[in-house]
Homo-oligomer: A and B are copies of this chain.
Amino acid sequence: MQTKTIEEYRLNQDPDLPDCLQSPNRLFWKKDGISKISPDCKDVFKHLSDQPFLSPLIKEGEERRPLRVGAVFSGGQAAGGHNVLSGLYDALKQFHSESRLFGFLNGPGGLIKGEYEEITEERINRYRNLGGFDMIGSGRTKIETSDQFQKSEKVIRDADLDGLVIIGGDDSNTNAALLAEYFLEQGVKTRVIGVPKTIDGDLKNADIETSFGFDTATKTYSASIGNILRDSLSAKKYWFFIKLMGRAASHIACECALQTHPNLTLIGEEIAKDNRSFQDLVEEIADLVELRAKNGKNYGAVLIPEGVIEFIPEFQSMIQELNRSSDSLSEKSEHCLKELPKFIQDQLLLDRDPHGNVKVSQIETERLFIEAVKEKLAQRKSDVKFNAQPIFCGYEGRSCLPSIFDSNYCYALGHVAASLINANQTGYMAAIQNLQANVRKWQAAAIPLTSMIHMEERKGKMKPVIEKALVELDGPVFSRLSAERENWKSRDDFLYPGPIQFFGPEDLTHQTTLTLQLTPAKVLETK
């Protein structure tokens, strides 16, 4: 039997394209409302202050010129990155056969150092629909200093780029806006377009319905969680404490909880709002363990978002203090730290990330909760069996074969980015809206990056930032979770979504996240 791998099948699959992107040469842009820039940002973004939103205008096109475009991956991997590049490539080549696409190597560092390679037809054809960022690599270098800006400018000028596409999260897109502004100021022709990437799902707002990678990551984690819930129900002897990747916000936890119905899900934003202490949470879990034990159930599962401890008030203060300096903790934080098991103390004091922060993802929150619940049950002199296993759903969800949703979404985002550069637009985020609908009905849009930016204190200095979208406690996703979760506590109402499917019935292959399905399509409603 001649066999092909799943990657070989996926490589040769054309993504579906929305109607509005079917003919790149007939796609133009029209103004669609003025963005409101935060007043305190006006000084930072003199050139980008009053940018309009743009929406597609389909009309007969004129001859297009060849474009030279660079692309860079910034930050952690998210499934679909290669399709942003293939979408870019295909659109640029449709504009003009002499258009050329370049990839900066290993993240923004490659841009500063002028390390890039051409993305040729032969090369892009080896990565269509595939996972990872490995065609050109990614990195976390931040373009911050004026020296770095100048170096980037020189590289861009030398490469004679018409456009630069920055594929990244909130920080990277803030950076895209700053670069766009800087290039305008310097009279550099290079247009800068951002693309919303992060598995965390926290780069979204009224205009950006979701970031790419969230769909694939949550499906990958939900498959694992479902398997683990089924295992827990079969063996009936383990409590699984499952930590989910996703830096600050608890979107991944919400989505995975709705997909799998675990017995308890911690939501960082709710904990912060209710001002709950670590001991409160431990009490709640211990209560649940005892409640289920009374029903003969010495098993279950708790979902823990990676960033949860930053939402627990006393930990939040402690981590903020640690991020400034570990030498001068307040008495309260010192106490909080010393009360923790030794292995957690070590993890908090470990070396920091390039931004100087505690590596929250290195903290074994899942083990911390297990130890604390054990201790709590011992204090209560409870005789329930509590046999717990820590699980981390993390790195395996970032570079996977993108789901059909992320494949299509990213390919469309690449088309939008190419079209905006062709239209000489800069400082925009490429957007695709109406994502709950069939791909053909998806809508393209261009969102001024400055419309998302405000000033925030970072390490004592005011900086422009794109606010991370936290879980809205009065929003439809959390409301659904909140309405249903009580039922999941004592019952075993587990769901088992299974692995991502690429073939077969469309209701399996094309299913979007519940987060997206539950969120009203605001843009279309108002248009």
* A interface residues with partner B (beta carbon < 8 Å): 1-7, 9-10, 73, 76-77, 106, 130-134, 137-139, 220, 223-224, 227-228, 230-231, 233-236, 238, 240, 343, 389, 391-392, 394-401, 495-505, 507-508, 511
* Structural contact, A234 and B399, CB atoms closer than 8 A: yes
Cross-chain contact B505 with A234 (CB below 8 angstroms): no
Contact assessment for A501 and B502 in the assembled complex, using a CB-CB cutoff below 8 Å: yes
Closest 3 CB pairs of A and B: A503-B504, A499-B499, A132-B230
Could you tell me if B399 and A227 are in contact, using CB atoms closer than 8 angstroms?
Answer: yes
The docked-state distance in angstroms from the alpha carbon of A15 to that of B29 is 53
Inside 8 A of A77's CB, which chain B residues have their CB? 230-231, 234-235
Report A222 CB to chain B, min CB distance, Å: 11
Given A106-B236, A224-B396, verify A507-B2 contact (CB < 8 Å).
Answer: yes
Q: A235-B76, A396-B227, A507-B1 are in contact. Are A501 and B138 (CB under 8 A)?
A: no
Asked if A231 and B399 make an inter-chain contact with CB atoms under 8 angstroms apart, the answer reads: yes
Q: Give the residues in chain B near A133, CB-CB below 8 Å.
A: 234-235
Q: Of B227, B234, B502, which contacts A138 at CB under 8 A?
A: B234
Contact A6 to B228, CB < 8 A, known contacts A233-B134, A395-B391, A503-B503: no
CA distance A496 to B134 in the complex (A): 13
Tell me, in angstroms, the Cα distance from A415 to B290 when the chains sit together.
42
Provide the bound-state CA to CA distance between A496 and B228, in Å: 23
Residues of B within 8 A of A138 (CB): 234-235
- Closest chain B residue to A506 by CB distance? B1
Q: How far is the CA of A288 from the CA of B158 in the complex (A)?
A: 39
Partner of A132, one of B9, B233, B389, B394: B233
In the assembled complex, which residues on chain B have CB atoms less than 8 Å from the CB atom of A499? 220, 223, 400-401, 499-501
Pick the most buried of A10, A133, A231: most chain B CB atoms within 10 A of its CB. Answer: A231
Per the bound structure, the CA–CA distance linking A155 and B214 in Å amounts to 52
Partner of A7, one of B343, B498, B503: B498
Q: A131-B496, A137-B236, A227-B396 known; 12 other A-B pairs, CB under 8 Å?
A: A130-B496, A137-B235, A223-B499, A224-B396, A227-B398, A230-B400, A240-B395, A389-B395, A391-B395, A391-B396, A401-B499, A501-B501
Please give the count of copies of this chain that the complex contains: 2
Q: Which residue of B lies closest to A495 (CB)?
A: B5
Q: Separation in Å of the A211 CB from the closest CB of chain B?
A: 17
Known: A132-B233, A234-B77, A399-B234. A497 touches B227 (CB 8 A): no
* Contact between chains at A395 and B227 (CB < 8 Å): yes
**Distance from A302 Cβ to chain B, minimum over Cβ atoms (Å):** 14
Contacts A233-B132, A235-B76, A503-B504 given; does A496 touch B396 at CB 8 Å? no
> A395 CA to B223 CA in the complex, in Å?
12
Q: State how many angstroms separate the Cβ of A486 from the closest Cβ of chain B.
A: 22
Residues of chain B contacted by A498 (CB below 8 angstroms): 5-7, 10, 400-401, 502
6 A-B contacts (beta carbon < 8 Å): A132-B230, A132-B233, A230-B400, A389-B394, A401-B496, A401-B498
Contact partners of A508 in chain B: CB under 8 A: 4-6, 9, 503
Q: Given the complex, which residues of B lie within 8 Å of A501, measured CB to CB?
A: 6, 499, 501-503
A234-B400 CB under 8 A given contacts A501-B502, A502-B504: no
Residue of B nearest to A73 (CB): B234
Q: Which of A133, A233, A397, A399 has the most CB of B within 10 A?
A: A399
Q: How far is it, in angstroms, between the C-alpha of A23 and the C-alpha of B503 when the chains are bound?
A: 32
Q: How far is the CA of A496 from the CA of B9 in the complex (A)?
A: 13
Q: How far is the CA of A7 from the CA of B230 in the complex (A)?
A: 13
CB distance from A362 to the nearest CB of B (A): 9
Q: A398-B227, A496-B7 are in contact. Are A234 and B132 (CB under 8 A)?
A: yes
Nearest neighbor of A1 in chain B, beta-carbon distance:
B507
Residue from A1, A132, A396 having most chain B Cβ neighbours under 10 A: A396
Q: How far is the CA of A137 from the CA of B9 in the complex (A)?
A: 38
Query: Judging by beta carbons under 8 Å apart, are A4 and B505 in contact?
Result: yes
| Chain B residue at minimum C-beta to C-beta distance from A499 | B499
Whole-angstrom distance between the Cβ of A292 and the nearest chain B Cβ? 15
Known: A3-B511, A106-B236, A497-B6. A395 touches B134 (CB 8 A): no
Once bound together, how far apart are the Cα atoms of A389 and B2, in whole Å? 37
Given known A227-B397, A396-B224, A401-B496, contact A234–B134 (CB-CB < 8 A): yes
Given the complex of chains A and B, what is the CA–CA distance between A228 and B220 in angstroms? Answer: 12
CA distance A500 to B497 in the complex (A): 13
Residues of B near A231 (CB, < 8 A) are 77, 132, 395-396, 398-399
Say how far A364's CB is from chain B's closest CB, in angstroms: 10
